[in-house]
Amino acid sequence: MEAAASDQPPALATKKGYDVLRYPHLNKGLAFTLEERQQLNIHGLLPPCFLSQDIQVLRVIRNFERQASDLDRYVLLMSLQDRNEKLFYKVLTSDIERFMPIVYTPTVGLACQQYGITFRRPRGLFITPHDRGHVATLLKSWPETVVKAIVVTDGERILGLGDLGCYGMGIPVGKLALYTACGGVKPQECLPVMLDVGTDNEELLKDPLYIGLRHKRIRGQAYDDLLDEFMQAVTSRFGRNCLIQFEDFANANAFRLLDKYRDHYCTFNDDIQGTASVAVAGLLAALRITNNKLSDHTILFQGAGEAALGIASLIIMAMEKEGTPEEKAIQKIWMVDSKGLIVKGRAALTTEKERFAHQHAEMKNLEDVVNSIKPTVLIGVAAIAGAFTKKILKDMASFNKSPIIFALSNPTSKAECSAEDCYHLTEGRGIFASGSPFNPVTLPDGHTLFPGQGNNAYVFPGVALGVISCGLRHISEDIFLTTAEVIAHMVSQKNLEEGRLYPPLSSIQDVSVKVAVKIAEQAYRDKTATFYPEPKDKEAFIRSQVYTTDYESFLADCYTWPKEAMKIQTGTF
């Protein structure tokens, strides 16, 4: 990689030791030792007290508990990320089940809606159509010369909340926080990007606090030209191995951009492929309860957007792996969109939807569709709160011994049904998973069930770690089926008895490593890896790449002196 002077971060001479305390990659707060304070020229800039990282974590947690709302807790954690990166990730990983719902769904959805209020300090890059012809220059302004993973959005379809424009930047920031907390990808090698092409949200255009461009969305050729320039600039600046994850693009762009770029760049769309992988993982785990094959099931989707179509395509791959021909697998899948059941002969069907159009009378009401199709699996991905009514849940229980019901829409306010309703209305026989977390449910017989959360965080951090570790340049669909199989395999019998279709979130780092190892093994076997020599012990190699949240020593005679601190100390930054 070139090391031109223009590529380096701003110079930080030894006499500017104060800057160390303002640089989140290096700042340790009161954990700096006396010797470090003296060598980094920050002695006297801190109170004469020394606190270990564990005590600092305790202080953050106590402040966290004092906050009045989840939005306040989000602001507290994001502010910590801006000040002290190691401590931020130490806190997240200390109790990932507790903190993930704050930095990710469901709270991140509220944070995006309120981004004008919660905005404190810019993170990542903001690229607009006005930057056409100069995107490569913008990327050079980013202080890190090594970036291995980018999450990019245009903010048009944030979760189930719609067009939030530039406020959608909270999603790439949150996703990349989980790249590190759940997958161990180094945070300084991650870059969140907002492609701000405007917004069609009238409320935002009138919002005095809105931080984005105040005009309608730019579409057509101008939009495509910006995307093309961005993709080319990324690979030119950071190499063809740089992973680019597309996030929360509207359906019309999500599929075509994936098709356009997937064979030319190291890229995937989390809403299509990540959601598919985690949903199929849940289905594979559920098969251990129903004791049959995936191809024995009839699957009905409420929704026919990128999530539904992505899940359906991966289900077909899984059924084919069982030995079911593709055409027969397709016949097992039905979809309902905003106009009703997708059937042959219905007007204005897209190519993607046409694939799942079967011979059947047109029907608009989901209750009627469920009663007619009698599915064994019901999957909600249309962000229509309460779509799985009491009648639907009772009907599913009436013609299934163990109905599989996935309410996957995010955030929680958009879930198709609650875990409590599902379990109670199916007499405890429902096999439930959701996109956002639900509290445990105790049945009348005293048995407590813990709803499985089909969180994409089981997928994208491990996929990213695996792709980065072996230098993949293209991400095939096989990777997402492999990932689903790994996740399902890690669900224990005890987990299933508790109602969990996914491993406990507390084990998510281990899940990510196992996913990454499988991806690396497959890549070296298929000769698609580009990093050689091939590691003999791939798990040991991948674990050695994982980010550590422990503070490093900054003493000049210590072998663990970080290169950033060395540059500050010597004045060569």
pLDDT tens, 271-296? 999 999 999 999 999 999 999 999 99
Tell me the per-residue pLDDT of 340-395, one tens digit each, with 9 for 90 and over.
999 999 988 988 899 999 999 999 999 999 999 999 999 999 989 999 999 999 99
Phi, psi (5° rounding) for residue 244?
A: -120, 110
For residue 326, the model assigns a pLDDT of 97
Among 175, 186, 414, 514, the active-site one is: 175
Number of other residues whose CB lies within 10 A of the CB of residue 217 = 18
- Residue 321 known to be catalytic: no
Residue 145, classed as helix, strand or coil, is coil
pLDDT mean across residues, the chain: 92
Q: Please tell me the least confidently modeled range out of 12-26, 52-66, 181-195.
A: 12-26
Q: 247 vs 251, 259, 340, 513, 573, CA distance in Å?
A: 11, 15, 27, 23, 34
Helices 306-322 and 275-290, interaxial angle, to 10°? Answer: 50
Per annotation, catalytic residue among 74, 89, 104, 179: 104
104 is catalytic: yes
Cα 464 to chain centroid, rounded: 10
Query: What pLDDT sits at residue 557?
Result: 53
pLDDT value for 160: 81
Question: Beta strand pairing status for 441-442 and 448-449?
Answer: antiparallel
Of 248, 238, 96, residue with least CA distance to 178: 96
Task: Using the predicted structure, report yes or no on whether residue 333 has a pLDDT greater than 80.
Answer: yes
User: What does the pLDDT look like over 92-141, one tens digit per residue?
Assistant: 999 999 999 999 988 999 999 999 888 888 899 999 999 999 999 999 99
Predicted confidence band at 573 (pLDDT cuts at 50, 70, 90)?
very low
Residue type (1 letter), 573: F
Say if strands 267-269 and 243-246 run parallel, antiparallel, or are unpaired: parallel
Token digits for 460? 């994208």
- For the chain, what percentages of helix, strand and coil (3-state, to nearest 5) are there? 50, 10, 40
